Amino acid sequence: MRLEKKAIVEELQGLLKSSKFVFLVDCRGMSVDIFDGLRAELRKCGGSLRVVANSFFKHAAAGLQYDPDVQRFLEGPTAVIVGTGDVTVT
């Protein structure tokens, strides 16, 4: 793996390690306005959203010993929602 890609995977691993919650979202058909609104709501509960290449997430998850079955959710464009706050905040 090239150094640039390895750095992205390591950054993603750090983000996943420090998070209390992780959600994978199929983001097909989501407009910029929807993303902006979702990001604003996530900030309220200490969360953030990133669109990541599925291959990067697979490498990061493998390095953190996530259940290999998580790969079945990685089809098409995927957004990763992570955070350190209370996920139940509405």
| Residue 46 structure tokens | 């200490």
In tens, the pLDDT along 36-65 reads: 999 999 988 889 999 999 999 999 998 898
Angle at 72 between CA 11 and CA 33, to 5 degrees: 60
Instruction: At 12, list the tokens.
Output: 């993603």
Quote the pTM value: 0.84
Burial readout 30-61 (b: 16 or more C-beta within 10 A, e: otherwise) = eeeeeeeebeeebeebbbebeebeeebbbbbb
Q: What is the pLDDT of residues 16-39, one digit of tens each?
A: 999 999 999 999 999 999 999 999
Cα Rg for the chain, rounded, in angstroms?
13
Which pLDDT value is given to residue 48? 93
